[in-house]
Amino acid sequence: MPESLSRDNHDIHDSQGIHVASRRRALGALAAGIGLIIVRPARATPEDLVLALREAFGDRQIARGRVSLEIPRLAENGNVVPVIVRVESAMTPQDHVTGISLFAEKNQLPRMLDVRLGPYNGKAVVSSRIRVATSQQITAVAQLSDGSLWSASAEIEVVTSDCGL
């Protein structure tokens, strides 16, 4: 059984078997008001992404978890990248996902797609195909009926954007 593609937990172990997920949580370098988006320790959240998140969600906190984002680890040129977003939710009238948004931190326009969901979906699982301009982190943000926001991010390497020059 092949290993799952999903990296919702960033469950990475380095070659010595040391769980590195904890090293990846960097809460420091964020614009004020945007909550707990996990970024790579050596890099700040690109300003364009921060602005896009603020435009979408205002000052609301975005937590980590409940969302699983499945995209390939590599794309040849990034033109057609399959993506599956899954959100843990019973999808009842009292407790369901109301929407999912996808963001690409380094695309010319970070905001890629918004979908609206409700209890009538039964399952909060949505697939699509997206364009990824260059190697970067993709983030999915889900909004629940109680107003809370949850997210997951995943790295994708667009191989042509690394062609040695």
Partner 1 sequence: MSRLGQGRVRMPESARPGEVVEIRALVEHPMESGFRLDNTGKLIARHIVESFVCTYNGVEVFSAKLRPAVSTNPFFSFYIVASGSGEFVFTWKDDQGGVATTKRSLVVA
Partner 2 sequence: MNTKTFKAGRRDFLVKTAAVSGGLMIGVNLAGTVHAADAAGTSEVTHWIVIQPDDTVVIRVARSELGQGSFTGLVQLVAEELECDWSKVRPEYADVNEHIRRNRIFGSMSTGGSRGIRDSQEYLRKAGASAREMLVMAAATEWGVPAAECKAQKSVISHPSGKQTSFGRVAIAASKLEVPKEPRLKDPKDWKLIGTSPARFDIEDKTTGKQIYAADVRLPNMVHASIVQCPVFGGKVKSFDDSKVKGLRGVKSVVAGDDWVAVVADNWWRANQALKLVTVDWDVGENGKVTSASIMQFLRTGLDAKDVPVARKDGDAEAALANAAKVIEAEYHAPYLNHATLEPQTATAVATDDRIEVWVGTQNGESTIAAASEAGGLPLEQVIVHKMHAGGGFGRRGVHQEYTKQAVAIAQKMPGTPVRLQWSREEDMKQGRYRPVALVKLRAGLDKDGNWKAWHVRQADQSIFVTVRPADIKNGVDPVNVRCFQDNPYAVENFTDEYAMRNPHVPPGFWRAVAHTHNPFFRECFIDEVIQAAGKDPVEFRRALLQGKKDLGVLDAVVKASGWDQPAAKGIHRGIAVVDSYGSFSAAVVEIAVTDATVVQVKRVVLALDSGYVVHPDAVIAQIQSGIVWGLSSAMHEEITISEGRVDQSNFSDYRVLHLSETPKIEAVLVPTGGFWGGVGEPPIGAVIPALGNAIFAATGKRLRSLPFKNHGFSYKA
**Residues within the interface to partner 1 (CB under 8 A):** 79-81, 102, 104, 107-109, 111-123, 125-132
What's the min distance (Å) between Cβ of 93 and partner 2?
A: 36
Residues within the interface to partner 2 (CB under 8 A): 2-3, 5, 12-18, 72-77, 80, 106, 108, 133-134, 155, 157, 159-165
Return the number of the residue (35 or 119) whose C-beta is nearest partner 1.
119
Return the number of the residue (88 or 162) whose C-beta is nearest partner 2.
162
Handedness of CA 29, 85, 146, 49 (dihedral sign): positive
What's the min distance (Å) between Cβ of 119 and partner 1?
A: 8
Return the number of the residue (9 or 127) whose C-beta is nearest partner 1.
127
CA pair distance 162, 165, nearest whole angstrom: 8
What's the min distance (Å) between Cβ of 65 and partner 1?
A: 21
Sequence-distant (6+) residues with CB within 8 A of 153 are: 10, 37, 38, 69, 137, 138, 139, 140
Return the number of the residue (104 or 117) whose C-beta is nearest partner 2.
104
Cβ contact 49:38 at 8 Å? no
| Of 137, 139, 143, the residue nearest 155 (C-alpha) | 137
Partner from partner 2, partner 1, none contacting 122, C-beta within 5 to 8 A by type: partner 1
Could you identify the residue written with the tokens 């996902």?
97
Which H/E stretch holds residue 81?
A: strand 81-87
What's the min distance (Å) between Cβ of 17 and partner 1?
A: 36
